Amino acid sequence: MFSPSPQTLGILVAVFILATLLIRRALLPKPIPGIVYREANAKKILGNAWELLQWKKKHGEMFGYLANLAVELNEPVFQIFVHPLGKPWVIVADNREAFDILSRRTPKEFDRSRFLRSLFMPLVPEFHFHMPTGDQWKAHRKLVADTMSPAFLGGVAGPQMWKSTMKLIDLWRVKERLAKGRPFSVSTDIRKAAFEIIWAATFGFDSGSTSAQTELLETLPEFTNLPDMDHEVHFPVAPDPPVFKAGLALNDAMNIGVQSLVPGLHLWLAYNLMPSLRAARSLKEAVIQDMIKQAINKFSNQTDLNWEDQGNLKRHMKSAVDIVIAREIDSARKEGRTPELMSRTVQDELFSFMLAGNEIFTLTAWTLKFLTTHQNVQKKVRDELREQCGAAVERGDAPTVSEIMSARLPYFEAMIEESTRCGSVTQTNIRTTMQEVNILGHMVPKHTEILMLNNGPGSFMPPLSVDEEKRSESSKGTAGKIGQWSVKGMRDFDPERWLVKDEEGRLTFNPNAGPRHSFGAGPRACFGRKWAALEVKIMMALIVWHFNLEPTPKPLSSFKPFPGVAHRPEMIYLRLSNV
């Protein structure tokens, strides 16, 4: 049996120690020269990752950690280390410079984040949102561009949004009657309603989820064993239609990537190896293909479409799938090519509308919480709505889609914008550097992830000092064009911060009253922001029209966020009474 000599043993131990030290050194973060970082984190293999996870565990989100770190370091540009062997992430905590990057320096110097690409590629590889700016991105975006047109939103999507929201109103009427003044959770109701609205506007038919829940509750007798007035009421839940359930499951799976150090690989494994997700994806694809085939049959021989005639479009178009397929057939005919109607591109672009449901659900949830907490704001919103939709008041009915869309509602708009701001619906915008760039005097290498905070200094904390000479030339030229919030009351929910008086003395919503980057800015701003804005407007207008959102008990009123893709509240309880 081999017995090493003391000298050999000493050499082996030394080699082991040296190898361990070399491996550890290789795994330690490699800071970008000239950019501030917390030195203690650079000496840890996990860098800032462990602290981020601990913050998320305690607070339900992780971007508050970055906002506080900006204040601690007293620097508007700093770096963090989140992946062993990965490049540092650079954080920008200055609203003006962030807006400049998003609106004027994209896509030449900055472009769509590689991190976001890793989240969406495994499920929707041909979705334009995650693609780098270029010919492929332009072609894909053009394919669905008509879905954001005034004609489609006002004539097709809007009416579908109205119908689906009224089904939610019907459900809540039944719950309000059964609860007898007690609070109940509406998280699932809002989420399903947001997705059902998108489903109906995208594919032209009702999934039946909300109606099934209403029908179930209508069969129940009056509740006789109700809890105390400040305790929640629980309701039985109707099963969702299989395809609707599949869409929600695929959407939920995005959280796997958000919470992973290797999101792309983790999501690919989940979608391909988890039986439930494989089945959900197969069902989703089968239904979308069937909807596309129906649209192909409808428009294959249609030669009289006039894309400039809104009335003509309204007669023919009943959904997003209609307008996408009709546009592709028309474009192919004019260009002398074969239309690509069953392609992965068409399928991914159509399903992508469902992915937008997270943001709509999130914004609606925060808005309901703020209106419940701030009863005076709720009253002003309702009073303005009823004043501007006087014809509906006289009819004793809900305002129509056209009445809601055409009404002048500056306070209502300000309330939605303030809910977006205070709810931190999007806490950060992410871009990747396309070349070596200068950010406030700091040189950042190519292919570095840049996170621009929407929840930090200048938004909810006093702005950090910035040397104006270090700003980019385009940033210098925008000084004073967008307002800055007063330090006093920055964290307060106050819709009036967005209001100014016009030349006639009327209150007007001012979108430039302060920083607002929740939907991004510039050429890569959120494609579906007009859709989302209209859906939230219709939902909130009809909810406030029909119900008083009464105060909820403190134990059911927490504003702690739920960890996931979107920054939404963990608790969403309502105590309703009819207006």
Binding-site entries for heme: 526
* Nearest alpha-carbon partner for 129 in 152, 146, 111: 111
CA distances for 564 relative to 122, 185, 561, angstroms: 18, 19, 9
Q: What is the distance between the alpha carbons of residues 476 and 498, in angstroms, rounded to a whole number?
A: 24
* Nearest alpha-carbon partner for 236 in 327, 171, 316: 171
DSSP E strand boundaries for 298-384 = none
Cβ atoms of 517 and 98 within 8 Å: the answer is yes
Provide the token pair at 565: 């893709």
Coil, strand, or helix at residue 560? coil
CA distances for 546 relative to 22, 382, 383, 385, 543, angstroms: 67, 10, 12, 11, 5
Q: Nearest 5 degrees, angle CA 320-CA 288-CA 360?
A: 55
Cβ atoms of 512 and 417 within 8 Å: the answer is no
Q: Report the C-alpha dihedral over residues 475, 480, 485, 488, rounded to 10 degrees.
A: 120
Residues with Cβ < 8 Å from 294, sequence gap 6 or more? Answer: none
In this structure, the strands spanning 89-92 and 110-112 are unpaired
Place of tokens 């958000």: 258
Place of tokens 């049959």: 297
Residue 111 identity: D
Cβ atoms of 406 and 527 within 8 Å: the answer is no
Provide the token pair at 116: 């976001």
**Does 462 sit behind a cis peptide bond, omega within 30 degrees of 0 on the bond before it?**
no
Q: What is the distance between the alpha carbons of residues 326 and 337, in angstroms, rounded to a whole number?
A: 14
3-state secondary structure 73-107: HCCCEEEECCCCCCCCEEEECCHHHHHHHHHCCCC
Place of tokens 């990965």: 86
Q: What is the distance between the alpha carbons of residues 358 and 568, in angstroms, rounded to a whole number?
A: 9
Place of tokens 């669905």: 144
Place of tokens 């490699």: 30
Return the bridge partners of 184, or none. 574
Provide the token pair at 577: 């009474």
Q: Report the C-alpha dihedral over residues 367, 368, 372, 375, rounded to 10 degrees.
A: 50
- Could you list the residues known to form a binding site, using ranges: 526
Cβ atoms of 512 and 481 within 8 Å: the answer is yes
Q: What angle do the packed helices 529-546 and 375-388 form, to 10 degrees?
A: 100
Q: Report the C-alpha dihedral over residues 320, 322, 323, 328, rounded to 10 degrees.
A: 120
Cβ atoms of 184 and 233 within 8 Å: the answer is yes
- The DSSP element (H or E) to which 49 belongs, if any, is helix 49-59
Cβ atoms of 107 and 529 within 8 Å: the answer is no
